[in-house]
Amino acid sequence: MREKLRQYLKNEGVTQLHIAKKLNVSTTLISLYLKNERNLSDKKEAELAEFLKSKTI
Protein backbone atom coordinates (compact mmCIF):
# COMPACT_ATOMS: atom_id res chain seq x y z
CA MET A 1 0.00 0.00 0.00
CA ARG A 2 2.88 2.36 0.76
CA GLU A 3 4.25 2.01 -2.75
CA LYS A 4 0.82 2.62 -4.28
CA LEU A 5 0.52 5.78 -2.19
CA ARG A 6 4.01 6.93 -3.21
CA GLN A 7 3.15 6.41 -6.86
CA TYR A 8 -0.16 8.22 -6.51
CA LEU A 9 1.51 11.20 -4.85
CA LYS A 10 4.21 11.31 -7.52
CA ASN A 11 2.01 10.74 -10.56
CA GLU A 12 -0.89 12.95 -9.56
CA GLY A 13 1.09 15.72 -7.88
CA VAL A 14 -1.06 15.36 -4.78
CA THR A 15 0.35 16.44 -1.42
CA GLN A 16 0.61 14.44 1.76
CA LEU A 17 -1.68 17.07 3.28
CA HIS A 18 -4.42 16.14 0.81
CA ILE A 19 -4.16 12.47 1.76
CA ALA A 20 -4.02 13.29 5.47
CA LYS A 21 -7.21 15.34 5.21
CA LYS A 22 -8.99 12.55 3.30
CA LEU A 23 -8.06 10.04 6.00
CA ASN A 24 -8.50 12.48 8.89
CA VAL A 25 -4.95 11.90 10.15
CA SER A 26 -1.92 14.14 10.58
CA THR A 27 0.57 14.87 7.83
CA THR A 28 3.22 13.60 10.24
CA LEU A 29 1.56 10.19 10.29
CA ILE A 30 1.45 10.08 6.48
CA SER A 31 5.12 11.05 6.31
CA LEU A 32 6.12 8.41 8.86
CA TYR A 33 3.96 5.84 7.08
CA LEU A 34 5.71 6.53 3.80
CA LYS A 35 9.10 6.17 5.50
CA ASN A 36 7.94 2.85 6.99
CA GLU A 37 8.35 4.21 10.52
CA ARG A 38 4.67 3.95 11.47
CA ASN A 39 1.68 1.92 10.36
CA LEU A 40 -1.86 3.03 9.78
CA SER A 41 -4.63 1.41 11.75
CA ASP A 42 -6.48 -1.33 9.91
CA LYS A 43 -9.41 1.04 9.46
CA LYS A 44 -7.26 3.82 7.99
CA GLU A 45 -5.40 1.33 5.80
CA ALA A 46 -8.76 0.19 4.42
CA GLU A 47 -9.84 3.80 3.86
CA LEU A 48 -6.59 4.51 2.02
CA ALA A 49 -7.02 1.40 -0.13
CA GLU A 50 -10.56 2.46 -1.02
CA PHE A 51 -9.42 6.00 -1.81
CA LEU A 52 -6.60 4.82 -4.07
CA LYS A 53 -8.87 2.25 -5.72
CA SER A 54 -11.41 4.96 -6.56
CA LYS A 55 -8.67 7.09 -8.11
CA THR A 56 -7.31 4.39 -10.40
CA ILE A 57 -10.60 3.44 -12.04
Contact 31, 16 (CB under 8 A): yes
Q: How far is CA 20 from the centre of its chain?
A: 7
Q: How many domains does the chain have?
A: 1
Full domain range(s) for residue 47: 2-55
DSSP tag of 17: H
Phi, psi dihedral angles at 36 (to 5 degrees): 60, 30
Burial of 16 (0-12, 13-18, 19+ CB in 10 A): middle
When pLDDT is averaged across residues 19-42 and rounded to a whole number, the result is 97
- Would you place residue 6 in the very low, low, confident or very high pLDDT band (cuts 50, 70, 90)? very high
pLDDT at 56 over 80: no
CATH number, residue 10: 1.10.260
